Amino acid sequence: MTASVGKVLSKLDRMREQGIWPNGMRYLWTDAFGVVLLVSLYRELGRKEFLEEAEWVVAEVERVLGRPRGLRIGEAPDRDGQYFHYLAMWIFALSRLGTIVPKYRTKAIRLVKDIHHAFVIPGYGVNWKMLEDLSAPYPGFGLGALDSFHGYVVYRLLDQEVLAHEIQQMKIIVKRSYQNLIVTQDLGLGMMLWMSHFFPEEDWVRVQQERSLAILDRMWIDPPGYFCREPGMPAVKFAFTNFGVSLGVQAVGRWPERIARLNSFFETYRSGDEYDNDAITHVMACSSTFPGDLISAAASRVV
C-alpha cells in the first residue's frame, strides 16, 4: 500500500466516524468524486467493501436526490435545482463504476438521454442551472462556460456510438467557444485541465492547457504554497477548490512540487467557516492525494 492510499484510508475512517461522508447529507458533486475514490480504492487494494460502498452511495444518491429526470443538486433545502456540471461529474462516476459493474454504465447513458436536451441549446451553449423538473432554466442563471467541454468529454468516455448525436452537439459548442474562452477561477481552471487530458490530440486542448497553466502560474502564492481564488486576489483561498486545481495539474503532469506543497499546506489550514467540516473539502482532499480513476491512465482500465 502506498503512503498516499494509507493517508486516504485514514481520512475516510475519520469522515465515517464523524458522519461527514459517505454517511452524511447527500451532495451530488461530492458524491461523484467520492464514488470514483471508492472505485479507485477497490482497483488498488482489491477489497470488495469499497465496491459495495460505492454501490451503496449510488443507491442513496438516487433515493435522496433522484428525480423523474436527473438529480437534484443536494439534500439541503438551499441546494435545489439541477447543475449540468454536477450531473456530468456524476455521469463520469457512474461510467467508472460501470467498468466493474456494467449496469452503472447503462444508468449513465440513460441519464445523458434524460437530461441532455433540457440543458443544451444546440449551436449556442449549455444552461448552467435548470429548475428541478428540467422544465426551464433556473431564473437568474445563464450559460455554463465549461459545461459543453464537460459534457463532450464525459459523453465520449462513456459511449461514442450510442451518444454520437449528443457528442456532436457538444463538439459544435466547444469549437465555437474554445478560442476566446478565458477561465480565471481556480476550480474552473483545474477542471479545464482535468477535462483536457483525456483527448490530448484535439485543438481546443492545446489552447486551453497553455492558457490555463499560464493563468494558474500567476495565482500561485509562495509562500506558503496555494493557488488563490482568482488573479489579483492573493489572500483569498479555499481548500476544496485548491484540491480541484491539484487534480487538473496532476492530470496534465505538471508542478509535482507545488502539488506536494499545496497538500501539505491544507493538511493543517483551517478557514474557520463551514468548509472546515464540509464533506466537499475532505473528499476532494482524498482525490488530490490519490486521484486514481480520475486520471486517464487509471480510468482507461476495465476489470
pLDDT tens track for 136-172: 999 999 999 999 999 999 999 999 999 999 999 999 9
Distance between CA atoms of residues 119 and 130, nearest Å: 7
Model pLDDT, residue 301: 54
Model pLDDT, residue 112: 99
Q: For 106-119, what is the mean pLDDT?
A: 98
Model pLDDT, residue 67: 98
Distance between CA atoms of residues 194 and 189, nearest Å: 9
Model pLDDT, residue 302: 46
**43 HSE (CA, 13 A, CB side):** 24
Distance between CA atoms of residues 123 and 125, nearest Å: 6
pLDDT per residue over 177-232, tens digit each?
A: 999 999 999 999 999 999 999 999 999 999 999 999 999 999 999 999 999 999 99
Query: In this model, does residue 300 exceed pLDDT 70?
Result: no
pTM: 0.97
Residues 6 or more apart whose CB falls under 8 angstroms from that of 50 comprise 38, 39, 41, 42
Query: In this model, does residue 63 exceed pLDDT 60?
Result: yes
The closest of 239, 266, 242 to 255, measured between CA atoms, is: 242
pLDDT per residue over 235-286, tens digit each?
A: 999 999 999 999 999 999 999 999 999 999 999 999 999 999 999 999 999 9
- pLDDT band, residue 303 (cuts 50/70/90): very low
Query: In this model, does residue 299 exceed pLDDT 90?
Result: no
Model pLDDT, residue 1: 79
Share the mean pLDDT of the chain. Answer: 97
Distance between CA atoms of residues 286 and 279, nearest Å: 11
